[in-house]
Amino acid sequence: MLLAWALRRLIRRGHLTLIDARGRTFEFGATGALPAATMRLHDATLHHRLALEPELALGEAWMDGTLTTEGCTLGELLTVLSLNLDTAPALPWEAVGERLAPVLRRLQQYNPIARARQNVAHHYDLSDRLYDLFLDSERQYSCAYFRHADDSLETAQRNKMRHIAAKLAIEPGMRVLDVGSGWGGLGLYLARTCGADVTGLTLSTEQHARSNARAREMGLHDRVRFALRDYREEAGTYDRIVSIGMFEHVGVNHYPAFFATLKRLLAPQGAALLHAIGRMDGPGTTNAWLRKYIFPGGYAPALSEVLPVIERAGLWACDVEILRLHYAETLRHWHERFQSHRCEVAALYDERFCRMWEFYLKGAEMDFRYLRTMVFQIQITRRIDALPPTRDYMVDWEQMHA
C-alpha cells in the first residue's frame, strides 16, 4: 500500500499504528516508543489520498469522520506526525509541487480589496457567539504573551497588549491607527490605559459592529472609533501605527503597497509595530487544508520576505523580537476552551464544523510547538531617532503600567 510505504519513510520518532479500511494493521517506528498514536481509516480511497496529498486529505478525512483515532486523541496523533515531519525526506512526487509553489503562491495570495473582504468574511464573520466560547474576555484573536508558565489566557493577553504599547512608547493624546483591529480589544486598551486617540480598521462587518458597540458601552467612543475600511483606503497622519495578526492576510504581492501605505500614514517622528505569524525556514506556501477551509488568501512569511521590503520602502526596522512557544500555549488554551463548549458550537453549526475547528486549533498548536512556525514583532520608524536608543524604556513603560 502506497500510504504504508510513505509512513515507513516518515516515522522515525515515536510509534504510529495504522488500521486501514480493510482492517489490516501496520506499525511504524520503534515498538514501545513514545509518543504513540493509532489511527483508523474508514474509506479505502484514503490509502492513496493520504500519501499523494497529505496536507489536504488528512484534515478533510478528520472532518468527514473517515479517519479516526483509537486509544488516543487527535492531539496525540498530530504530535507523532509533527515530530517526524520536520526531518522527513521529501517524497518523489512532492518535487513537482515544490517547483510550482513560487508561481502558485502568488496566485493564492492575490488579495485586492474586494477579495480581501471576501477572505475576511469567510473566517471572521461567523457567529458572534462562537468567538466568545474560546477567546479571552477581550476577544484577542492573536498570540498571547506568557511571562510565566502558569499565566491564564486573560493575563497573557493583557501582557501582550502592554508589551506592544511599551514598545511603541504610547503617550496620552497620541493618534494611533490599529490596522486589523479585530473586536477592538487593543484599541480600547490603548485609549483606556494610555489615553491615546485610536482609529481601528477592519474588513469584518461582525467585528466592526461589535467593536463600536464596546466603545460606546465603555464610554470611550469619543476617543476610539472603528471603521469598515481597507488599510489602502486610509488617509491622515498618525503618531503610532500597530498591526496585530493582520499581515498574514496581506499577501506577498501586496507587501510593497502595505509598507508604502504605512510610511504615508506615519508622522515623521512616528513609530509602528508589526506583529505577525512567520516561518523560520525561508519562503514557502500555506498548508492546502488551512488555505481552503480556514484562511483563504492567507500566508505566514519568512523574515527574509519582509525585511527587504521594509528596506526598499525607506523605513527603519529598529527592533525585532521572535516569540517562539507563546502561540503554542495560546492555541492550547483556545483548544481546551473550544472543547469545553463543543456542544454549544455544534448547536450553532454542526459536528463537521466542530471537527474542522478542532483540527485547525490543534494542528496550529503542533506547528508552533514542533515545526518551524513562530511570531515576529518588528518595530518600524521613519527616522533613526524616533524612539530611545536602548530597550530600557520598554521595561520602564511596562513596569509603570503593570
Mean pLDDT of 278-282: 94
Mean pLDDT of 82-99: 67
Mean pLDDT of 334-351: 97
pLDDT of residue 1: 79
pLDDT of residue 106: 63
3-state secondary structure of 19: strand
What is the residue-averaged pLDDT of the chain?
A: 93
Q: How far apart are CA 24 and CA 28, in angstroms?
A: 13
Q: How far apart are CA 130 and CA 127, in angstroms?
A: 5
In this predicted model, what pLDDT tens digit does every residue of 36-52 receive, in sequence order?
A: 999 999 999 999 999 99
Say yes or no to pLDDT of 287 above 80. Answer: yes
3-state secondary structure of 254: helix
Mean pLDDT of 227-243: 96
pLDDT of residue 110: 66
H or E element at residue 268: strand 266-279
Stronger pLDDT, 114 or 371, i.e. the higher one: 371
Using CB atoms within 10 Å of the CB of residue 11, give its burial: 0 to 12 exposed, 13 to 18 middle, 19+ buried.
buried
Other C-beta atoms within 10 Å of 222: how many? Answer: 10
358 DSSP assignment: H
For residue 324, which phi and psi values (nearest 5 degrees)?
-95, -75
pLDDT of residue 299: 93
* Contact between residue 106 and residue 252 where contact means Cβ atoms under 8 Å apart: yes
Say yes or no to pLDDT of 109 above 70. Answer: no
Residue closest to 262 by CA, chosen among 356, 250, 30: 250
The domain 113-400 having CATH identifier 1.10.3720.10: the answer here is no
Percent of the chain with pLDDT over 90: 86
pLDDT of residue 285: 87
Q: Which residue in the block uniquely carries the three cell numbers 477581550? A: 138
Percent of the chain with pLDDT over 70: 93
Q: How far apart are CA 258 and CA 385, in angstroms?
A: 23
3-state secondary structure of 202: strand
Range of weakest confidence among 102-106, 380-384, 389-393:
102-106
238 — pLDDT class (breaks 50, 70, 90):
very high
117 — pLDDT class (breaks 50, 70, 90):
confident
89 DSSP assignment: P
pLDDT of residue 84: 94
Q: Are strands 266-279 and 373-381 parallel, antiparallel or unpaired?
A: antiparallel
* Contact between residue 240 and residue 177 where contact means Cβ atoms under 8 Å apart: yes
Annotated domain spans of the chain: 2-92, 113-400
In this predicted model, what pLDDT tens digit does every residue of 203-220 receive, in sequence order?
A: 999 999 999 999 999 999
Amino acid at 92: P
113 — pLDDT class (breaks 50, 70, 90):
confident
The CATH code of the domain at 2-92 is 3.30.1050
Mean pLDDT of 371-400: 95
pLDDT of residue 105: 60
Asked, colleague to colleague, whether 2-92 and 113-400 share their fold, the answer is no
pLDDT of residue 61: 98
112 — pLDDT class (breaks 50, 70, 90):
confident
104 — pLDDT class (breaks 50, 70, 90):
low
115 — pLDDT class (breaks 50, 70, 90):
confident
108 — pLDDT class (breaks 50, 70, 90):
low
* Contact between residue 345 and residue 354 where contact means Cβ atoms under 8 Å apart: yes
pLDDT of residue 102: 61
pLDDT of residue 236: 93
128 — pLDDT class (breaks 50, 70, 90):
confident
